[in-house]
Amino acid sequence: MASLVEMQKMLDKLIHKSFDNFVNYKITAKKFDDTKKLMEKDLDINEILRKIEYYKEKQIELGKFKMPESNKVLAYNKLREQQKKYAELLKHVKENNSNKYLIELEKNFLKGKELFREDKIVLLARINKLLMSLKKKMGVAKYKQFISELYLNKLTDKTNTYTYTVKTIMKHLKSGLISYEASKKSKHLNNIKSRKDVMNRKTQMEIEIEMIKLKDVVKKFDKYEKLFIDKIKKIIDREDDDMMKQRLFQVVTINKRNKNGKVVKKEVVEVKPTEFKNFISSTNESSKYHKEIDKYKLILAELFEKDKSIRNRITKLKRMI
């Protein structure tokens, strides 16, 4: 088994690979956005030709400036990239197929996003597996401290354009799983025939992502509700409060099959939903319950606002299709 130092080195390599994935995606997305905006300007041939000449002249002028060679190469590449964009645009404007090219441009970008997503899912799985091993090796307390410090670390690319914390990088990786689940219910890329199809697919993806977020909020609500009920039970048991126990809980008999398939009766303690709701809403309860009630109300209010916000966004998105 690898040592703690070796595992940390492996983690560092995976985080750097994840950072590269993030930066490459950002660069690809920017190129796509720039090209798309350029095509949507609907420029005529003369305007495009002027732009091509402009960037050619800028490249010649750049050679006369005194600056570090690395900076000059970077600046030259940017100018060259702009020239290539306009040259590509000119080609499609002359062929009168700009709209068709724009559809293909968007489809190719979406296919590229799928490849980035696949890499993210693989990287996240490897990192999570390594983190589990580190947790076992370090122990819970040291691991928490390690993660807290790790997430604050920042990585910067060679051009000093992109800087992200490890926390942001991990968030980027996790988004891959959400997008993957959302893509299962969205229109397949091969079936996209028009720009309307592209926009509808994008909207559908956003709806599915919001649905996944909503499911997570509902799950958290159920989790905290059960946790809260358990804490109230413990206070009741500690205080030996029989009156409150009878008021909030009831013994219910259910039928359950054992390993042999035989039906047996089993008694379980369940909360009384209406009484418990009244208990939470009341301001006249004993002070021994106030702390937990207030804590629960705060968490519930935050989750309720998230739930409301997500549902409103889903409604707006559905109107766009």
Over residues 99-109, the pLDDT tens digits come to: 777 888 888 89
253 falls within a domain: no
36 falls within a domain: yes
Q: How many domains does the chain have?
A: 2
18 falls within a domain: yes
CA distance 85 to 37: 11
129 and 232 in a single domain? The answer is no
177 and 302 in a single domain? The answer is no
CA distance 283 to 290: 8
210 falls within a domain: no
Q: What is the pLDDT of residue 22?
A: 96
123 and 30 in a single domain? The answer is yes
133 and 229 in a single domain? The answer is no
Query: For residue 42, what are the domain limits?
Result: 4-184
Find out whether 205 and 182 touch, Cβ atoms under 8 Å.
Answer: yes
**The whole model's pTM is what?**
0.73
> How do the pLDDT tens digits run along the chain, 321 residues long?
678 889 999 999 999 999 999 999 999 999 889 888 887 777 788 888 999 999 999 998 888 878 888 788 888 888 988 898 888 888 877 776 777 778 888 888 988 999 999 999 999 999 999 999 999 999 999 999 999 999 999 999 988 899 999 999 999 999 998 888 888 877 777 778 887 888 888 899 999 999 999 999 999 999 988 898 898 889 988 989 888 889 999 988 777 777 777 777 777 788 888 988 888 887 776 778 888 888 888 898 899 999 999 999 999 999 987
Q: What is the pLDDT of residue 126?
A: 96
170 and 34 in a single domain? The answer is yes
259 falls within a domain: no
How far CA 102 is from CA of 49, 90, 94, 247, 260, in Å, comes to 20, 13, 14, 66, 64
How far CA 187 is from CA of 144, 147, 178, 314, in Å, comes to 41, 38, 16, 18
- Give DSSP secondary structure letters for 1-70: ---HHHHHHHHHHHHHHHHHHHHHHHHHHHHHHHHHHHHHT---HHHHHHHHHHHHHHHHHHTTS---HH
80 and 31 in a single domain? The answer is yes
Task: Look at residues 25, 320, 313, 311 and name the one whose alpha carbon lies nearest to residue 199.
Answer: 320
200 falls within a domain: no
305 falls within a domain: yes
Find out whether 65 and 41 touch, Cβ atoms under 8 Å.
Answer: no
17 and 116 in a single domain? The answer is yes
Q: What is the pLDDT of residue 285?
A: 66
Q: What is the pLDDT of residues 260-318, one digit of tens each?
A: 777 777 777 888 889 888 888 877 767 788 888 888 888 988 999 999 999 999 999 99
Find out whether 151 and 131 touch, Cβ atoms under 8 Å.
Answer: no
SS3 154: strand
DSSP state of 284: -
86 and 232 in a single domain? The answer is no
231 and 161 in a single domain? The answer is no
29 and 80 in a single domain? The answer is yes
140 and 285 in a single domain? The answer is no
160 and 33 in a single domain? The answer is yes
55 falls within a domain: yes
- Count of beta carbons in the 10 Å neighbourhood of residue 210: 21
Task: Look at residues 76, 81, 82 and name the one whose alpha carbon lies nearest to residue 59.
Answer: 76
